[in-house]
Structure formats: structure tokens, C-alpha cells
Structure 1
Amino acid sequence: MPTPVVADSACSQCADRLPPANLTTTLDGECLCRSCVDDLSVCVECGGHTRSPHLTSHDTLLCARCVSGWTRCADCHTYSRTTTTAVGAREICGNCVRDYQTCDDCARLCTDTYGVHSGNRVCDPCLDEDYRECAECFDLIPYDDTYCQDCTRPEHPEVYGYDYKPDPRFHGKGPLFLGLELEIKTPTRHFNDAVDTALAHIGDLAYLKEDSSISPCGFELVTHPMSHEYAQTRFPWRLLTRLRLLGCYTDSDVGIHIHLSRNGFDSPTHAYRWLKFVYRNQTPVTTLARRSSSWAEFSPHARSNMLAFAKGERGAARYHAINVRPEHTFELRIFASSLQPQQVQAALAFAAASVEYTRSLTAADIARRRGWEWNAFTTWLRAHPPYSPLLSELEDLACAS
């Protein structure tokens, strides 16, 4: 019987025809002659030939099947059996680890670290989550701190604690008295100068207190009760300019609070008209106040309980536009703080003018002359010169009508 003849096959690359025994099947499924297969890479694990080798961190080559289970280094892109996880979930081979630093807080590898006041070095995520700058020297310190150990918040014997409350000394003639609380921030290095300057100007009209909302450094200037006329003519307005020259400032974190004596209202009905007027005019009032703040909220709860508050019920929440919790005063909390005399004068003038406007507001005024509306109030203001700083501020803010 004749011997069968096996047909030649062609090399997949050069197309030479050779007996099948002279061809090699690669890991990629190609049949190549010896010359063509010698141009391919050889997997060190299985010995197979491949056009798509994977370089390892040991400078060896693996095929796609043998590299399964190995991890690619995020930096050099070679494959390794063991890698280390760096910040950002980056897998790093043993060769590239040498280029990394270790965060002293989380012990993870990272490309860059930042020195903090303690002497440690921390990574970006730890820095963002746990650190801030010292308010004085700008070293990085734990986020809950304001100053580093080398810089302490300054103290002054005549800046009293938050709960300090002396017996009130009334200035001017009532019946309405106003108590101003002006929150001021100061550069740390000028704190004592600012305090001494304030004390030299305020005499027995006011005192200085600490307040946790004034960060990193500053004080609250609190006046004794004043009539509006006394405040406009006798408060040391030049002090505000002096403080600005010392670098004192205000920002969105601090405010002006004005206490209005409850005895300055004719009746609970008058108090109700005043509360209702302020809350009904939220838009122009917040424009005048130069802020809309969660510390002075125009809340639906307050709106719906104004009559009860006017009759003496004291609400549970303090941070309303008008805080009704104090026993002897209403606290108007709406204003952003300022060291500009006109803005502070306008705040005091609004407190006084809104009370006087609503004192004589009648049902006819409300029904026929739209007495609740802001335009009616500003028209009334123009006929009452003692409140001119308020009118000037309203004109500057384009809400005088």
C-alpha cells in the first residue's frame, strides 16, 4: 500500500511552504517557519512564542496566559507578582517603591509629602482632611486647632469671657433703648493695640467680650443700652476708622446684633406689628443687612408664631432673624458686621425707625396705604431726618423704594 503524502503548509508570516513538522504554532495561534518564529519573544514560564509579551519588573517576558494573576505597576508599567498600594490606589512594584515617601499619619506611600508643625510629613489626602494653617505663622496644624504650640491666641485682661454681663447703664432718653453688639476680627499681632484703642474710645459706654464665632482672633464690642439719638451723636464713630487702620476687619463669619428693649414697645400689639413688618419685608431687609445667614434665619416657624412671641412667649431657637428668647429685649440678628460708620449707623437707625414706624401704624394705613410695604416705610423715612444714615445706606444699596 503506498505511503500517504502530507501536503505542505504555508508559514503565516513569510508564506513559504513547508512540511507541517517544520512549522511552529505560536501562543497567538500562528504557524511560523523557524526563521520567522525566531523573531518572536519567548515566555520564560511556558516557553511559548508570542508577538505580545509582557515585561516583568525582573526584565523577563511573559505571555498573556502566564502573566494572569500578576499586577501592572502604575509607574513603570511592568508586571510583578507583588506590589504595594500607594495613595490614590496606585499599585507600585518593588523597583518603583524606592521613589516614594511614607505619610507619617496614614503610613501609605505617596509621591509628595508636606511638613507639618509637629515635624511629621503627611500626604495630600491627610493634609486636606486633617490640617489647616496656623492663624499666626501659617504652619500646618491639626484642623481643630487655630494656633500652633508656638503661637497662642492673645489675651487681654479687659476682654471679658463670653458670659460676662454687667448691670446695664442706660444712656439717653427712652422709651426705646438699643444695645449694639459689633463683632470685630483683628490680626493677632495687633490684638492688644486694637483692644487698647477701643477701650480708650468707648469709656463707660461699652465693654469688650470674647465670642467663639470670632475666629481666629478678635473681640465683640458690646454697648450698654442707648437711645437712638445718643448712639448717633455720642458713640465714638472715629473708633471704627482707627480699628481699620490697625488692620481690623469683618467678613461673612461675623455680624451685628442689636438688642431692642421690650419696654420700648407700646403694647404686645405694637411688638406684633414690628415683628410682622420685618418678616414681611425679608428681601429688602436682607439687602440692607448685606447678608442672608443661617445665624439669622427668616424661618416659617417664627413667621407662624409672631403673635405668641409678641405676647411674651420665648421661642426655643436663638438663630432667627429676631431672637425672642431674651427676657427684656428682642435681638435683631440680621446684619453683617462692618467697620464702616454709615453701615453701623444704618443698622441702628433701622432698628429704631422700624419700631417708630410701626408704633403708629393703623389698620387704615395697612388697608388703604399699603403700610406693610417697603415703599411706604421708605416714604416715611424721608420725612424723619434723624434716620438719614439709614436712607443714605438704602440709596447706596438701591433699595430706597
Structure 2
Amino acid sequence: MRIFELNSSEISWIFIVGMILLAFSLRIMIELMDIKPKSAAFLASVVTVLVNLFLVQMLAELGSRRMLLSKPFLNLGAFSFVSFLFGIAAVQVALFIKLRRIRKSQIGKNSIKESMDNLPDGLCISKMDGTPALVNRQMQLISYEVFGKHLVNDVRCEKLVREYKISEKTKILQKNPLVIEACGKIWLFQFIKDKEKKYRETIAYNITREWGVLGEIKKKNQEIKAANKRLSEYQMAALEYTRQKEILRSKIEIHDKMGQALIYFRHYLDKKDKTEDERKGLVQLWNESLVVLDENENEGEEVKDALWKKLLETAESIGVDIHFTGTLPQGENDKNTFISIVHEALNNAIRHAEAKNVWIDINEDGLRINLTIKNDGHKPSSEIKEKGGLKNIRARLKICDGKMSIDTSEVFTLRISWLKGESYDL
């Protein structure tokens, strides 16, 4: 069948297909001219458009029966004509694939705008008077949600937000820096001016996840504060319990010492033949009682330095020299522990060893306090059993992760350390 033998209906259908191919080829040519006009692909698109245009013109002349350009091709077979159209379609598909590859490898006039529109954050670049030069899609959505219209002036919008003149659907969560809830998300706004002060940039960062984490942190901090308050109350109660316990222990100790001294004194007075050793023993017993009384007179003082000074004066008054190296601990609990241990060690040195000199060395190594106490009294004649004063020291150290060792190789030596701090009473 020749092309001129086609009826009107067949020509119309082929004409429609040709026009579609022509429109498609024109679009490809225009885009290639915009992106890469000096390429072989652009030249091929121009040739495709011209061939496609010629074929459409032939169909138009066949339909109107006014032969101009198509007259030399009337004997062309219909199958060949349709094959030309399929060939054009194949070339257009190849050019379209080529166009997509070029788009991915090059930046065109609209590439920057398309990239900005695909950002998850809002972006607006405007002149210093607020006139927008570039606004991406997300910023327009935020503007429509906050103000009910698209962004037309950046400076004006910032002023309205600062004055809380916004839609009821949105909420200002924080004013400085500006944080707004809009479009079901949380946005952090940042306003930047360039060095030349020609343009300003407004960025809306999506911080929905970060804001949620911040809320969780604030909630946890409140719970921690409440827990700390309860712990502080418990610590105060524990300290009060310890204080009352120490007071009770001191009262019992005073009662025992005074009772023992009075009984011994009564026995001494009733005895007819009094020896010098018995008199020294009586004086020794009263000296021990004096140390206990002097300590408990200062038990209620808030400033423990006075108690330490009084302890030194008491030791001096009964003929015992204390050689002290280091500085007193700063913490109240540490100072209480130190004075309590020294008192017990001093009692033992006077009572059991009849010491005349006591050496005390204290230092800190960051986390722990180290204490060494020596005396020049009599060495123990048998194995030392921890009772009385040593037992009290061991019990005191237990509540503060303390350690104690005894060395009698040269002189009687106590090596003690405990965890520094204010919270170990818990």
C-alpha cells in the first residue's frame, strides 16, 4: 500500500502520533539547548525535530489533498512511512536517556533551585530589606503554616514572630534562639547577614528529634534533682543518727571512765599502805578521764579546729608531745573521722604504752586520706587483739571504706587510709 492510498481515518491516527513525537522531540531539543548546546546530542535533536516536522507536514498535505512538499514522496510505502516514525521515536528515547545523564553530571539554571527545594530544612536568601531572592519549598510551607500565606518579606516575618503575631496552629517554644513548632515539626531559626551586608539568610533547621531528646534530658534532670534532694535528706538523717550515736558512746565512755576512776580512788583512800606505783596508776586513770571529758566538751562545736586544738592542749597537759605533720582534712566528715581516730590512738598510747611522744602524719592522694600514727611507748609483749580503741577505729573506718594495718617491728605504728568525701555515711 502506497502512502497516498491511506484513508482519512488512518492518516488522522498517524498524524496524531507524529504530533506527539514532534512535541516530545521539541522539548528534548530545548532542554539540550539550555544544558549543552554545543553537543552532538543537541545536533541530533535538531535533526530529529526537522525530520519529524517534515513527516507531519506530509501527513497534513495528504489529509488536505494539497500536495506541496509531499508530492515527490507519494509513492512511498505506508509501512516505510510508519517505520520512519518508529525510528524517530527510538532516536528520541535515546536522546532522552542522554539528557538524563547530562542533567546528573551538570548544573543547569534550575539545578540550584531544585537542590534547595529538596533540602529537609527551610532556606530563604533575601535582600537586607527582606525581599526574597531564593526561597525553597520547605520554607514556603513553614511560612504558609505560620502566617497563612507564602513568604513575601523575610524581615517582616521575623518581626511578626517576635511579636507573637502568628497562626494559632503554631507555637513559639523558645524566643532566643527562636524555636517554633509548625507543620508537625520543631524548627530552630537562624538569621545570618553576609559581611558586605547585601543579603541575609534565614535557615529553619528541623530539630524535632533533638528537641524530643532535650525534653527527655530535662525530665531526667528533674528526677535526678528530686532524687538528690531525697538523698540529701537521708544523708542529714544519717549524720544526725551518727552524731547521736557518738554522743551516746561518749556518755557511756565518760560514765565508765569516771566510775572506774572513782572506784579506784575509793580503794586507794581505804588502803593503809599506799605505794608509789598505785599513786601513778591513779594519776594515769584520771588523766585518761580528762582526755575524754575535754573531747566531749567540744563535741557540739561546728568548727572542729577548736576540738583538735583542745586535744593537743590536753595531751600536752598530761606530758605527751604530739608531733603533727600535714594539714587537717577540709571535709567535715573527714575531720570528724581524723579526730576520732587520733583520740582513740592517743588513749591507747597513754593507757597501754605509757607513751611520751606521738607522731602523726596525714596526707591526701586525690581520692583517699592517708594517716600514720606512731608512739614511743612500750611495745606489746604479745599478739595484739583488736578491742577497745582499735576496735572502735576499725568500726569507724568501715563506714568510709577505710583500711588499717598495725606494725610493731620498730615502734608501734598505725597505718590508716579512708575514702575522702562527704557522702560515704550513706
Fold in common (TM above 0.5)? no
Higher Rg: 2
Structure of greater relative contact order (alpha carbons < 8 Å, 6+ residues apart): 1
- Which is richer in helix? 2
